[in-house]
Structure 1
């Protein structure tokens, strides 16, 4: 036997309308039933009160014993009362009061068979027809009993009319509830309708749109806020993905460009050496030298790319106390040997929060990687400034603020986010008295393969990976590498690291 399944309406609006209508219909039915029962009970109570308040006069009992009571005796009974007498033996007497043309109540011929108790009214059917009577038994003189009856035609007629009125009112109420419920539900779901329309436009490609109705006082408003927050995060994720793909395409193109030049040179001179029987000895030596030089250039570039990839994954750094003053001194000595054309001096950091003395300045990190940053900055200063330009190296401690270091500000560029304000930091500055950089170049200086002068070769400016590597190492140590520069005011590269605790 198959189970009969009732499929609910698929539309939320229809479910709400049907649910509200069903609940309201039940409420109306309950109230009508309660009113019907109360009204019928009240009418019966009125009849019972009339029955209890009526007492046949004493002469009527005497006339009943004599058999002289006439059923049509006028002026004896009020309204539609019927009175039936029972003698002292409990048998019904053949005399009564209040006879008319309507059939009377169906009552027994003896008191024992009446099934009535004194003072407790009951309802009985008429002798014929659909009429009903309300009867009440009471005791009279000389052990006689009397049954007083009133017809319930008025009560039944009133309740019947009320019942039909209730049916009509219920039908009208249901129709009104459906019509009004549709309007109320549509008005209540209007924010959802607007959200649906906006969501369709967003799915069609208009990603800048946001859902309306974000009032936190309503459930729909809170839903709109949550969805808007989700859409904003999705949009940011898409933008970051597009930016990442663009950086990757640019990175691959730049890497290919940087590798193509030395590779072409190696191929050309290799083909030339294959015809060495036609070349003089000095030209062969020059070809070998250029092949080795470009192979070394390719090796350095590949090593830089591999280092960048390693830093971009999960770099592993040693964690030990590092004296930045000693690192800076070693880097200055090495740079002085390889770059005698640029005077280099070492001194304390001057500015707010620094003591002005060249004491031990400690940070926690990898000494080899941190020294690599300082050497890279010194090499960058030598390569990109004219001979004779003085390079200043300053080491000290400070606190993060707009006027010192570690925070973003006018004329300052960094590839890393700013550090918390007031944070104690250890700082290494490498500043030069060169021509500086214009703002467009300064904003891109930490990007991979970026060079302020694209015509520079590896020997005159490098491939543009050094500052990217230095910035990645600094950020991996919880700090950042930043640049303060302006045309004609030189460049100040600043390595900012969290100060060592203790």
Structure 2
């Protein structure tokens, strides 16, 4: 080996150490940041909810029973001030925190209670919003931080006083500090262990390369040309082994990406219907004597979500076939007949819309009849969902010398220009104005685009807000 070539073993050990150090650092940082931020945000939410409960009682009934009893958590202190900032009432134990000026907190609110590192990552839950009507603050009591939340009591634009909620941050500050120290210690120990193990693993991994090198030396010495060693394309020990390994990884990566995308899509879209079904069934189990009408409505919701779930799974399995590259079966067929069948099915789906068809007779293409029928139904169903009753939805099938034009035109609300570039993406739904279909999956148009693509065609969408939507599919005519 040339003296200027760094050995593979050394490079593997160095890269393994660098990547492991990076991974350990990122894991420790994000673990710390996510935990820290979520805990402090949770504290703020508790304070905010506690203050709102007190405010609701005072403004509604003139007093709050919460102030008369010790809260469930001894770590929450609640105090009621009048409009002149005079302390009127407080929960037991409030004397440990000196009274503060609510107006001063509202005038100069404090930022988040967590440190700058935790601020670099998104929160696991939304931060409570501060405004001129409420504010968070930080108080120092005997060397310990206390989180403060102030909520003005206003009724008919008149200030009646302030509600103040406080909780000590000392236990949480100490827990966060201990976590930071623990992660740092574990990271350092793990890094040392990883580098040591990396060197050992690299040595073992390169043992086959040493055997290949020995074989190549035997060939050179013996001159036995019947023996073969793969070509060496790089000036290091891996040679052809590296290229083969990379090709294998490429194949495995492609397969893994298909599975990961399917699982990601499934986990994203299946969560909502499953949660609704689980919640309704749990209520039915806990309340067997529920009102029959309410029980009927809950079972109806479960049935709707089951139907939606079945449709979603079917659509996702179809897209999984697309990702796996499963081809269609293609044969000459009468597109006019298939279009009229889909049209009759769409008429049954109409909810007051006027469904019309203009289909030239004897239009023939080469393709899969089931998939083409599904394509037309998807386009018609999509048009019906977003077309008000009394408006029309038109299906048009025409042909010229070389091509077939399939058009679905509606008189619905149209699609905003900003959304039109994304309507063929999986799980994408346009703005809430077109979100009148709670059972939609966001997979219809992507499936339609795939079907057209598999038939060697082209699909285009033309729409404008308030002007309806026109989808044009161009297919090759069967001669």
By relative contact order (CA 8 Å, sep 6+), the higher-ranking structure is 2
Indicate whether the TM-score tops 0.5.
Answer: no
TM-score for the superposition, normalised by structure 2: 0.44
TM-score for the superposition, normalised by structure 1: 0.42
